[in-house]
Amino acid sequence: MRQGTSRLDLFRYGVILPLLTGEESNVRKYCKEESAKPHYYKGKEYYFSEETIRKWYYKYLNEGFDKLNRKKRSDKDIPRKMNEEAINYIIDLKSGYPRITTKKIYERLKEERVVGKDISINSFYRYMKTNNLRTQVIANKERRRYEKEYPNDTWQADTSYGPYIKVDGKKYRTYLIQFIDDNSRLVVGYGFYFHDNAVNVQKTFKKAIEKYGIPKQIYLDNGKPYSNEQLEIICARLGVKLTHTHAYDPASKGKVERCFKTIKEGWMYARDWNKYGSIEELEEDYGRYLYDEYINKKHSELGDSPNNVWHKGIENTVYKQIEKEKLEECFMNTVIRVVTKDRLVSINNKYYEVPYKYVGSKIELRYYVTNEEEIWVYENNEMKEKCEPLNKKDNSKVKRENNIDYSKLVNNEEDVIECS
């Protein structure tokens, strides 16, 4: 069983990232250039063939990040995703060889196993004609590389100290985590929290995507809440380029810093914080301020309001959205744990019970960033079993009729075969 998302997956994603973000539009040329360069993984030097890099690219496009390192599908030759893979491969060939014939494209697709053996040349001719792949798609592909400085091209994010608020008679420091669109200065996501940590950054990022779609890139601080493997995995699943500022270089994230300055002068320094008794009240008041005094007011550098600039600009670029269920999956955090003989695992200082069959095994666990107590066992990137929170009182009432060591049973291959 493959345990979790490995660093190898992130390494492969990094190699193909310029193709995914549009920085490089000619797949064939890029793969050829990269195959001639050394790549370093865990301190060792590697060279990869053009075909290998190209396969990583198309596998990501068709199956996503979590399946980038999976074994070959048993139904690989069935063209159930012919549209997605074939279109991208044809664009690649047409970009590199504008005069290439449809017959030659078909032969190359067969050689590279992009289409199955059951696709005839006549079917392929019809496919090319139906999808208008001879001219229109190529033109769209070539233009995309130059479509920069639009909304959702880049989001910046950072944390600012918020006010102290009194909850149940005790004062607590708050933190404002905020994402802004680099092009329009629109605040796309924000949240007040009692802790400045990675989970709260992820929650804010997720809220921003729910409302404004997926950005091409996010530009973040180097602190631990913004620089960690879980966020790398989330961005890889979403196809977002993750970049960080240089250390001790606050000017590099000047737009979000100026946004915080405006907010403090216009809102934070003009409020009586004693009247707020919860984070929810704080966020509600801040939301009203943003709507009335910031996102819908004329910006001196833009000549228009951030809200108007974003909505006008988004019409001229690709607006990438994602279904809610898929978004939840992308933001699931991944951990690896060894199951104790009491069939327990510990996550975030809490214990959870897993099925007996996993006793003694190292397993992959995932949980939703918005619900850390819903824990699932994953095998080969598929959701298998739900873990229940440990209830010591209920467990004390369960009658034990034997003292079986389940770890020995699970590790005994003959017993497992007989039971199945």
Same domain, 81 and 114: yes
Domain of 207, CATH number, reads: 3.30.420.10
Same domain, 309 and 362: no
**What's the rounded Cα separation, in Å, for the pair 338 and 361?**
6
Query: Is 100 a residue whose pLDDT tops 70?
Result: yes
Which tens digit of pLDDT belongs to each residue from 313-326?
Answer: 998 888 899 999 99
Per-residue pLDDT tens digits for 111-130: 777 777 777 887 778 777 76
**What does the alpha-carbon distance between residue 44 and residue 42 come to, in Å, rounded to a whole number?**
6
Q: Could you tell me if residue 79 is inside a domain?
A: yes
Q: Is residue 176 part of a domain?
A: yes
Q: What's the whole-number average pLDDT of the chain?
A: 81
Residues 132, 135: Cα–Cα separation, whole Å: 7
Residue 1 has pLDDT above 50, yes or no: no
Q: For 272-285, write each residue's pLDDT tens digit.
A: 888 899 999 999 99
| pLDDT classification of 142: cutoffs 50, 70, 90 | very low
pLDDT tens readout for residues 39-72: 888 888 888 889 889 989 988 888 888 777 655 4
- The pLDDT of residue 80 is above 50: no
Q: Is 308 helix (H, G, I), strand (E, B) or coil?
A: helix
Among 305, 323, 341, where does a domain finish? 323
Q: Are residues 131 and 165 in the same domain?
A: no
For residues 229 and 291, membership in a common domain is answered with yes
Tell me, what DSSP letter sits at residue 403? Answer: -
How many C-beta atoms surround the C-beta of residue 310 within 10 A?
21
Domain range for 315:
154-323
**Could you tell me if 348 and 415 lie in one domain?**
yes
Which of 144, 145, 125, 146 lies closest to 134, judged by CA?
125
Cβ pair 306, 293 in contact under 8 A: no
* pLDDT band at 76; cut points 50, 70, 90: very low
Residue 171: pLDDT above 80? Answer: yes
Contact 281, 199 (CB under 8 A): no
Show which of 294, 323, 352 is a domain's final residue.
323
What is the four-CA torsion angle of 16, 17, 18, 22, rounded to 10 degrees?
A: 110
Q: Does residue 349 sit in the same domain as residue 396?
A: yes
Whether 406 maps to a domain, the answer reads yes
Residue 121 and residue 238 in one domain: no
Helices and strands, number each (H, E), in the chain: 16, 13
- Could you give the percent of the chain with pLDDT greater than 70? 79
Same-domain check for residues 55 and 176: no
Q: If you average pLDDT over residues 35-41, what whole number do you get?
A: 88
Give domain status of residue 2, yes or no: no
Q: In terms of domains, do 245 and 291 share one?
A: yes
DSSP-derived letter for residue 223 is S
Query: Are 27 and 132 part of one and the same domain?
Result: yes
What per-residue confidence (pLDDT) applies to 359? 93
- Which pLDDT does position 299 carry in this prediction? 84
- pLDDT tens-digit series, residues 364-411: 999 998 888 899 999 988 899 999 998 765 555 445 444 555 455 444
The answer to whether position 201 is within a domain reads yes
pLDDT over threshold 60, residue 164: yes
Where does a domain end: 323, 354, 371?
323
Taking a C-beta distance cutoff of 8 angstroms, is the pair 290, 305 a contact? no
Token pair of 80, please? 């159930």
Pick the closest to residue 120 from 107, 135, 130, 133 (CA basis): 107
126 and 41 co-located in one domain: yes
Per the structure, the count of domains in the chain is: 3
Sorting pLDDT into bands at 50, 70 and 90, what band is 75?
A: very low
**What Cα–Cα distance (Å) separates residue 205 from each residue in 150, 156, 296?**
19, 10, 22
Condensed to tens digits (0 to 9), the pLDDT of residues 325-362 reads 999 999 999 999 999 999 999 998 899 999 999 999 99
| Through-space distance between the first and last CA atoms of the chain, rounded to whole angstroms | 18
Residues 241 and 368 grouped into a single domain: no
Whole-angstrom distance, CA of residue 216 vs CA of residue 153: 5
Asked whether residue 149 is assigned to any structural domain, the reply reads no
